[in-house]
Structure 1
Amino acid sequence: MSFLVMDDGEYSFIWETLCDLQLIFHPKYSREGKIDHKELLGLNIKKVSVMLDRNLLSSLLKLTRDGYLKDEQEMRIIALLMTWMIMNNYPASAGLALKEYATKINDLIEPKRELREFNNIFDYYPSMMWLRLAEGAIDSIPVCPLPTEPFITEIKYNEDDDHLLMHIAEMLHVVYLCRRRELSPVEKMLDFLIWNYKYLLICESTLVYTAMLFTSQSGIKAPKNSGSNDIGKILVGCRNQAWDLNYLSNWSSFHYYEKTMDEIFMFATNDILLKRIFINTYTSGGVGALIEAVFSKSDSQKIFEVVNFNQRNRIKPDFGADPKIYLHQLIEQEKHRVMETISDRGNFNYH
């Protein structure tokens, strides 16, 4: 990697623009995408890594394959992010983004080829080129030679992990509730909570998403194809939505142990839904504050009563010796629950 030389104006431009765009998130150092750079840069004893979502990784790979992006703003954003990581010596982590791609195409080799390509990018380009592209001084970069051999690693990127399977089951139950139009928003939330406590561990990001979804908050949508009569399309939509939540729950498992680790993971995304979920999960008051904001006082009280009762009397579900078997069975259960709503309407179309 070459040296990156910038003046005070360029240095401020990178930090300030990154904060304005709200691309980098962390509950302590960048709760709303506004990075506390003084405190972050003061972490001399800890290594900082940046976890990229699939959209950012895909844009980076396309930019280096073609030398430019048709969407100029997206191209400048990628260059800005690369400049910021390079100037602070923050390595990027693409593991989850590669896994999303691998599970989508059900392939093991292509994601490993992308990993080699991703690693090559940091060695191939002069650091100053990213800065000039971010500033708008240049409009393209040289094409990075594509690797022919996949990166050698034992990681099986195409295997669904427990977090993803959990979120697929959750999204199927969300679809079921969305199709129950006779239920009020609070009834849907209460049903989801009771179901969640019975079958799964509680994920705060999922609760934030469901609370915003059931109360029809602006820009918050149900899994794609939720209203379809084709269970195959519904499953695809649930898997796609599950991946958004999977980024946050996998990332949070790292954050949970940060105090005992020598590494801190920041999360990078330009996805509006992911940003809203993250901000509302880790803002002051967290999930409880969100529930009070989107539900009436009486409805919020009903929700808190269910939460408090289950927290006091919680018997966690037994996932057995192989959690994947349990989770696949739960997915099948929820799939058939959705199928029943389709069948009841006389429009069942199952492939």
Structure 2
Amino acid sequence: MNFLVMEDEEYSFIWETLSELQMVFHPKYSPKGNIDYTSLLTLKNTKKITVMLDRNLLSSLLRLSRDGCLKDEEEMRTVALLMTWMIMNNFPASAGLALKEYATKINDSVEPKRELREFNNIFDYYPSMIWLRLAEGTLSSIPECSLPVDPVITKLEYNEDDEHLLMHIAEMLHVVWLCRRRDLSPVEKMLDFLHWNYKYLLICESTIAYVAMLFTNQLGVRAPKNSGSNDIQKILEGCRNQAWDLNYLSNWSNFHYYEDSMEDIFMFATNDTQLKMIFINTYAAGGVGALIETVFSKKDSQRIFEVINNNQGSKRLRPDFGTHPKKYFHQLIEREKQQVTEKLK
């Protein structure tokens, strides 16, 4: 990677603008997307900081390198801003989960490996200064990347559904079923989901934050796409899409919880409004508990906390996934799918 020469005001522009856009998140160094500049730079001395990209950001970056520009100028400047910030701080970008999302969607592993080559080419092909000038608005386009795009040779099979994703698909099918239950109040839906979740799956804080906001109709929080459809396959597709949003956060959280003993720190980058809301309300001061107290009444919150407290630590009988967890999750998905299908009738 070549050198990036910046004036002081350009350096400040990148840090300040990225924080204003609230694109890069970490529970300790950027819980609301407002990056703790001082702490992060100090952390660089002892840890390797990697930025995980979501699918939308990766797709925008790849289209930009293929076409030389994006139709949405703001989107193009935002991508260039993120690239400049990562390069000037020597923060590597990780596209693994974003490639996996694409692979599971098209059920193919070759095309994502081609995208991986394109992604690697971007860092080899473009001078670092080009991203700064594009972010500032001095440039309105960049050259199309002309490097070969033959698939990267790797044994990784990107199109295999991981266990986190399967759990989230089952969750979203149950959420759709609850959304279609007009006879239930928001707190009753929340309690049903918690009882079901504790019985069948592991608990994911990001999912709890999402359903709490969804069932109380918080602005900007949407049910899984096609949840109002009468076509079960469309509903399943929408559940898979929403499951992937949650899958980014639950996979990322595995790294976060062990990062004190790791050499790497992973930050998460997204420009998706709903994903931002889920992250902020999961990791802001008070966490999910504070969110529940905010969106539910005091009486309803107490009912919810009673269920949570009764399932903490040794009080909870954890579900047994057996020796083949994926088989267990597929069976649960099928049961939830049948339950939604019955509701459609």
TM over 0.5: yes
SS of aligned partner of 1:42 = helix
SS of aligned partner of 2:331 = helix
Measure how far apart 1:148 and its partner are.
Answer: 3.8
Instruction: Kindly provide the CA deviation profile for residues 224-245 of structure 1, in whole angstroms up to 9, marking residues without a partner as x.
Output: 1111111000000000000000
Aligned equivalents of 1:65, 1:147: Cα separation in 2 = 12
Alignment RMSD (CA, Å): 0.7
SS of aligned partner of 1:319 = coil
| 5+ residue gaps, structure 2 | none
Q: Is the 8 A contact 2:23 2:271 kept in 1?
A: yes
Aligned equivalents of 2:280, 2:149: Cα separation in 1 = 40
Aligned to 2:102: 101
The count of corresponding residues between Structure 1 and Structure 2 is 343
Aligned equivalents of 2:231, 2:103: Cα separation in 1 = 24
Identify the range of structure 1 (206-215 vs 143-152) with the bigger mean alpha-carbon deviation.
Answer: 143-152
Aligned equivalents of 1:256, 1:294: Cα separation in 2 = 27
Q: Is the 8 A contact 1:48 1:90 kept in 2?
A: yes
Q: Is the 8 A contact 2:19 2:33 kept in 1?
A: yes
The yes-or-no answer on 1:320 pairing with 2:317 is no
Aligned to 2:169: 168
TM-score for the superposition, normalised by structure 2: 0.99
| 5+ residue gaps, structure 1 | 344-351
Q: Is the 8 A contact 1:65 1:146 kept in 2?
A: no
Aligned to 1:16: 16
Q: Is the 8 A contact 2:166 2:326 kept in 1?
A: yes
Aligned equivalents of 1:262, 1:20: Cα separation in 2 = 29
Measure how far apart 1:146 and its partner are.
Answer: 5.0
Measure how far apart 1:309 and its partner are.
Answer: 1.1
The yes-or-no answer on 1:31 pairing with 2:31 is yes
Instruction: Kindly provide the CA deviation profile for residues 201-251 of structure 1, in whole angstroms up to 9, marking residues without a partner as x.
Output: 000000000000000000111101111111000000000000000000000
Aligned to 1:154: 155
Q: Is the 8 A contact 1:175 1:223 kept in 2?
A: yes
Aligned equivalents of 1:172, 1:146: Cα separation in 2 = 42
Aligned equivalents of 1:223, 1:203: Cα separation in 2 = 17
Aligned to 2:4: 4
Aligned to 1:336: 338
TM-score for the superposition, normalised by structure 1: 0.97
SS of aligned partner of 1:19 = helix
Q: Is the 8 A contact 2:2 2:127 kept in 1?
A: yes
Measure how far apart 1:310 and its partner are.
Answer: 1.6
Aligned equivalents of 1:120, 1:221: Cα separation in 2 = 36
SS of aligned partner of 2:46 = coil
Instruction: For 1:124-273, list aligned pairs within 5 A.
Output: 124-145=125-146, 147-273=148-274
The aligned amino acid for 2:330 is H
